[in-house]
Chain A
Amino acid sequence: MNGAELKTEVEQRWPGQAQWRLDSADAMCEVTCARAALAELCGRLFLEWNFSFAGLIVEEHPEQWQLRYCFYGEREAGWVHVVTKAPLAERTFPSIVKFVHAADWHEREAEDLFGLKFEGHPQLGDFILHDDAWQENVEPMRRTFDPHAAMQHRKPDADWRPRRIVQEPGAFVMPIGPKYSGITESVHFLLETVGEDVIRSTPRLFYKWRAIEKLAEGKTVDQVLLLAERFAATTAFAHGLGFCQAVETICGATLPARARILRVFLGELERLRQHAGAIQEICESTALVVANSQAGILEEDLLRISCELTGHRYLFGLLAPGGLLCDLPSDSCARALEQSQQALKELNSLERALHVSSSFLDRLEEVGFVALRNANVYGLLGPVARASGFSRDLRRAQPYSGYETFNFEVPSEQEGDGYARLRVLFAEARQSVGIMEQAVAALQNGGVREPMRLRAGAALGWVEAPRGGAFHWVRLDDNGRITRYRIVPPSYANWHGFHLAVEKFAFQDFPIMLSTFDLSVAENDR
């Protein structure tokens, strides 16, 4: 279904309730609709017309609220932004979660940070601002809130108790974290159990909330680029790219061919390295020592390859709006490719060995199962969704940075268990090296940065980060400063759906489920 067809459909169903702005060049259509029609329109896009939900962007303009629900489909279907507006005094909106469950956390976040109410949402409250530490009515994302006031230390409320879902005789909650295990990110798990098996797991996140979106307000593009690169540094390049693409769309910049191709090359190098890291974590969680070491060697190899090529192990300081901050010599890229091919050879050999290790497979197969239907309803992203048979990939669905000119497959599996997720990681690593080969072959001499003039406007940048689709919404004012920056990282969607994988499981499988989901707390918490 493309924009024009959609328009006809909606005008028949909700006559006079929606206004259209169709931009066929960008395959983008913006529907401004009345609040009464909002939930059902979003529901139809998501449930019937096969659009994916990218995110809810709340903006506080001087006079009014603007809520923007972003959806995207395969290729021609393009983007649909459903927009609804209300005067600032009005703070209640209809909840869309009964149709679009993927929007669940988005509405909770908007309630927490902007103080908006969503009618019909089943669970608002305690989310980003932990209820045991923050007073009511603190709304940090409102314009009037000053983020640079010194930190107000809050005393945690010792009597606060988390919401319990399992109501059975003998049920109790086992709290884990935020500091737990060896070298792990800070997150708190509430495991509800009635004995041996865990029935429900609720992650409590945002211990690492750094309020990136608030800090970005009023800063220059270059300053915010630093934040975009650094808030989730294991996938720094992808997020930096998402931000740069949003700025470039606002300013109508055209990129030099060499910059586009180098961006693809570096993006795939990052994916390869991140997937090797994810594979290492999976091997570690199953306590398969040699495989853990082998994968660890590969991850370090790829970190060194990245550093040798770019000067930094996590690809910092390369991106600039309008291209790249510095050129990378073609022969260095060719050398990095050669080393990556060697690493891939090792990775393939590791996969073959794992494939015949029954003790390893026993721990992954049928563990952490996510059904395709659930993957869709929760809007899961990246390798996790593709392992459940949902093969949408932004590089293919809505190509950016010239991905439409590259030949590659989007690997997917049907089983939806831990082993399927592992196989997807290996298959994607192979595709990444394939793309890197094509990129090196396509490299031509030329500049890597086009001077561009900043102008006012707003746009969405998107990128298929190693963990899945990432969306960056940027609004610039007349002085080229950021007035709104919204990041929707893939881990946000995948953490939301993580409890699906850990229903009714045995305790000892928990680390395995966690590692096969390849979740980043830093990315989610922002």
Chain B
Amino acid sequence: MSQWVIKGLRAGIKTTAYPARAESAAGVSPGLPMAGDFPAGEIAALMACCPTGVFSERDGRIIVDHRLCVHCFRCVRGVNRPVGWQQTYEWGMVRDGQHEFGQPFRRSIHIIVVDAGDCGACLNEVKQLNNPYYNMHRLGFFITPSPRHADVLLVVGTVTDHMRNALRKVYDAMPTPKRVVAVGACALSGGVYAESFVCSKGVTAVLPVDVEVPGHPPPPLAILHGLLVAVGRKPASLMAPASSGMETSAPSG
């Protein structure tokens, strides 16, 4: 058994310095398309190439609704004029600016994860949070299988008809105060499936959502950021387009 001790020591410390410092390793995030100025003649082509309608135009600038992005890369690889791309990962957005985040969630929290119709990728990225690179325990985040112990409900996947009741039951069984974090394009907008006779347009159709993490799937650091936003330890991202009716909260200390 001593071999495992040696093996563990030899591997050294792999854990990211985030959230204290930014993570700069390659391949930690697939990035997202960027809003901004765009040549007027090319805007129509850009909007047409996107299968989920991420882009819209206002005053000659393009506006991006990241909640709809399914990472098909058609706006980079399928058009003459590619859209700008941001290699960021702090994507957690606050759905409703009225929320008072903070007090009850300041210290360690327990998270229950519900797969409500996920393709496997978001769930796999959530799973990565437990591996040494991200090690969310160090931040006081713990996964719990029981809704009775949970402070935060993390939902992945478009909500399928068969999962509606299970999801609702989990939410109802959680003690208050509680937060809901919706992770991934499918949970935010229904992704490529909605709206159909078995898929709803995301979690908001069933539950009130507090924090949204876009991406398809969002990388582990983005999910981590979403959790930090939910507990008021990081300011929400300012990515949300004003046109979507979403408010972005002021940074909360």
Contacts and interface: CB of A to CB of B under 8 A. Distances in A.
Nearest to B8: A290
6 contacts: A140-B197, A183-B123, A209-B160, A296-B128, A300-B133, A522-B118
A293 B161 contact: no
A446 interface: no
Interface in B1-46: 1, 3-5, 7-8, 11, 14, 25-31
Contacts of B246: none
B198 interface: yes
Contacts of B76: 311
A357 B196 contact: no
B126 interface: yes
Interface string A201-233: 000001111111011000000110011001111
B71 A317 contact: yes
Interface string A286-306: 001011011011011001111
Contacts of A126: none
A151 to B, nearest CB: 6
B195 A150 contact: yes
B102 interface: no
Contacts of A209: 160, 162, 198
Interface in B185-231: 191-193, 195-200, 216-217, 219-220
Interface in B99-134: 113-121, 123-128, 130-134
B238 interface: no
Interface stretch (A18-26, A59-67, A173-181, A496-504): A173-181
Contacts of B117: 186, 207-208, 210
Nearest to B147: A179
A3 B14 CA distance: 56
A186 B28 CA distance: 27
Interface string B87-103: 00000000000000000
Contact of A227 (B3, B7, B192): B192
User: How many B residues touch the partner, as a band?
Assistant: 35 or more
B1 A297 contact: no
Contact of A208 (B31, B163, B192, B197): B163
Given A234-B120, A307-B30, A179 B170 contact: yes
* Across the A-B interface, the 7 shortest Cβ-Cβ residue pairs: A304-B27, A296-B131, A317-B73, A233-B121, A307-B27, A308-B27, A233-B119
B165 interface: yes
Contacts of A520: 120
A314 B196 contact: no
B81 interface: no
Interface in A135-160: 140, 146-154, 156
Interface in A66-85: none
Nearest to B127: A183
Nearest to A305: B27
A83 B138 CA distance: 59
A149 B128 contact: no
Most buried by A among B31, B132, B192, B199: B192
B143 interface: yes
Given A209-B162, A226-B51, A297-B11, A186 B197 contact: no
Contacts of A133: 161-162
A184 interface: yes
B139 interface: no
Contacts of B219: 313
B198 A226 contact: no
A353 B118 contact: no
A63 B124 CA distance: 45
Contacts of B70: 226, 230, 316
A311 B120 contact: no
A232 B119 contact: yes
Contact of B30 (A184, A222, A311, A325): A311
Contacts of B77: 317, 325-326
A167 to B, nearest CB: 28
B74 interface: yes
Contact of B166 (A178, A311, A523): A178
A420 to B, nearest CB: 23
Nearest to A304: B27
Contacts of A308: 26-27
B175 interface: no
B14 A297 contact: yes
B145 A182 contact: yes
Interface in A96-144: 130, 133, 140
Interface string B136-149: 00000001110000
A299 B131 contact: yes
A89 interface: no
B113 A231 contact: no
A338 interface: no
B73 A311 contact: yes
B158 interface: yes
Interface string B60-90: 0000000000111110111000000000000
Nearest to B75: A317
B72 A317 contact: yes
A373 interface: no
B192 A230 contact: yes
Interface string A4-42: 000000000000000000000000000000000000000
B113 A183 contact: yes
A227 B193 CA distance: 8
Contact of B145 (A181, A231, A316): A181
A523 B191 CA distance: 17
Contacts of B74: 317, 325
A208 B118 contact: yes
A353 B3 CA distance: 7
A74 to B, nearest CB: 31
A291 B11 CA distance: 11
Most buried by B among A149, A207, A521: A207
A312 interface: yes
B3 A151 contact: no
Contacts of A230: 70, 119, 191-192, 216
A509 interface: no
A294 B163 CA distance: 34
